[in-house]
């Protein structure tokens, strides 16, 4: 379970990076991707909290 959540965390982080590239390249404005960026941040926060809980239970 931890491995799957870790993979998800890495993929969400990659998504944030690609969103930033879209803005820097001028292919999208920050306003256009603000919702996606917010959702990705929230998913990363939930995943990080879940990983922390799982690791604490395993200890």
The 10s digit of each residue's pLDDT in 32-55 is 999 999 999 999 999 999 999 988
The string of DSSP codes covering 1-40 is -HHHHHHHHHHHHHHHHHHHHHHHTTSS-HHHHHHHHHHH
Predicted confidence band at 29 (pLDDT cuts at 50, 70, 90)?
Answer: very high
φ and ψ at residue 26, rounded to 5 degrees:
80, 15
Domain boundaries, the chain: 2-54
Q: What is the pLDDT of residue 1?
A: 78
- Terminal C-alpha separation, the chain: 15
**Rg value, the chain, Cα:** 14
What is the 8-class DSSP label of residue 54?
H
């Amino acid at each position: 379970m931890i491995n799957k959540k870790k993979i998800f965390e890495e993929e969400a982080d990659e998504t944030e990076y690609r969103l930033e590239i879209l803005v820097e390249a001028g292919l999208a404005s920050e306003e256009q991707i603000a919702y996606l960026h917010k959702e990705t941040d929230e998913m990363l926060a939930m995943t990080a909290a879940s990983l922390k809980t799982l690791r604490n239970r395993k200890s």
